[in-house]
Amino acid sequence: MAPQCGDAEADATVLEVDRFRTEQRLAGQSRGEIDRAISEGLAVGRFHSPKRPALVYMMSSMQMLTDPNGKSVGKWMPHVMVYYPFMHDKDFGLVDTPDPKVPGTVYPGTALSALVVVTPGFVDPAPAQ
């Protein structure tokens, strides 16, 4: 479980693709099959890339990440993603590095490319009163 929140543009575009990806994984599809279905869906208009920058954030410490076998692998870092189609690190003036604490682009050059910025800490809602 990886709680994600986003703005309206993200919900209509990238989070729709993420929901599809999750449904297909649960149905037993391979990563390659899912990637091909998403590419085809983008080509035929089933899915859409953002028309403007789309904001997605994963800031909850309640995330529970697992490997493909269902084994818990803990949490990843809290982060903000700004989806902007067909972007690369060089478009932002960023260096290419595997260090996740340095902002960088995921899915570079694709309809679903995003700038990822790790934040200093998780943000959780206040407990209900």
Average pLDDT, the chain: 90
Structure token pair of residue 86: 């067909």
Per-residue model confidence as pLDDT tens digits over 34-48? 999 999 999 999 999
Q: How many structural domains is the chain composed of?
A: 1
Position 61 in a domain? yes
Q: Which domain holds residue 46?
A: 5-118
Q: Give mean pLDDT, residues 98-127.
A: 88
The percent of residues above 70 in pLDDT, for the chain, comes to 95
* CA dihedral sign of residues 85, 91, 96, 102: negative
Region of residue 93 (left: phi > 0; alpha: psi -120 to 50; beta: else) = left
pTM of this prediction exceeds 0.85: no
Position 10 in a domain? yes
What pLDDT is recorded for position 1? Answer: 59
Query: Residue 56 and residue 59: Cα distance in Å, rounded?
Result: 10
Give 11-14 contacts, CB < 8 A, sequence gap 24+.
Answer: 12/48, 13/47, 13/48, 13/49, 13/50, 13/51, 13/54, 13/83, 14/50, 14/54, 14/56, 14/83, 14/112, 14/114
Position 128 in a domain? no
Per-residue model confidence as pLDDT tens digits over 106-118? 999 999 999 999 9
